């Protein structure tokens, strides 16, 4: 059986706030570490029937970037759920919510520039 590794390195400032997030994977086509401003990592504990998660973002991530990040994560979660379950109606609901979320965020930012 083949193994693959995903490595995440988080550099913290003196207040333990993420300053830099980098990752690489043994099966990635990228040869160098990849830089990220945010990450969401979730694991499913089948015994406890609960999700364990790590969510981090750097101080230089803007609110607009965070909104785009969440929008894209919600859409790709829908894609994954579609492949895993074939539940198209539920996926469409999730993607509709993602679009509404993104639109409402954009509306809330009008005039704040």
User: SS3 helix, strand, coil % of the chain, rounded to 5?
Assistant: 40, 30, 30
Domain boundaries, the chain: 1-59, 62-113
pLDDT level of residue 113 (50, 70, 90 thresholds)? low
Are the C-beta atoms of 96 and 102 separated by less than 8 Å? no
pTM of the model: 0.88
In the chain, pLDDT over 90 holds for what percent of residues?
89
Angle ∠(56,79,55) on CA atoms, nearest 5: 10
The tens digit of pLDDT for each residue in 4-62 reads 999 999 999 999 999 999 999 998 888 889 999 999 999 999 999 999 999 999 999 99
Rounded to whole angstroms, the maximal C-alpha distance in the chain is 56
Distance CA 92, CA 69 (A): 19
16 DSSP 8-state letter: S
Strands, DSSP E only, in 14-77?
18-25, 34-36, 38-45, 50-57
């Amino acid at each position: 059986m083949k193994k693959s590794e995903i490595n995440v390195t988080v550099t913290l400032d003196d207040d333990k706030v993420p300053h830099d997030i980098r990752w690489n994977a043994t099966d990635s086509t990228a040869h160098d570490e990849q830089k990220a401003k945010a990450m969401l990592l979730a694991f499913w504990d089948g015994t406890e029937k609960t999700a364990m998660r790590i969510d981090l973002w750097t101080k230089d991530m803007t609110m607009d970037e965070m909104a785009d990040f969440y929008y894209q994560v919600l859409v790709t979660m829908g894609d994954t759920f579609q492949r895993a379950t074939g539940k198209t109606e539920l996926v469409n609901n999730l993607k509709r919510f993602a679009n509404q979320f993104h639109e409402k965020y954009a509306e809330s930012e009008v005039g704040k520039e």
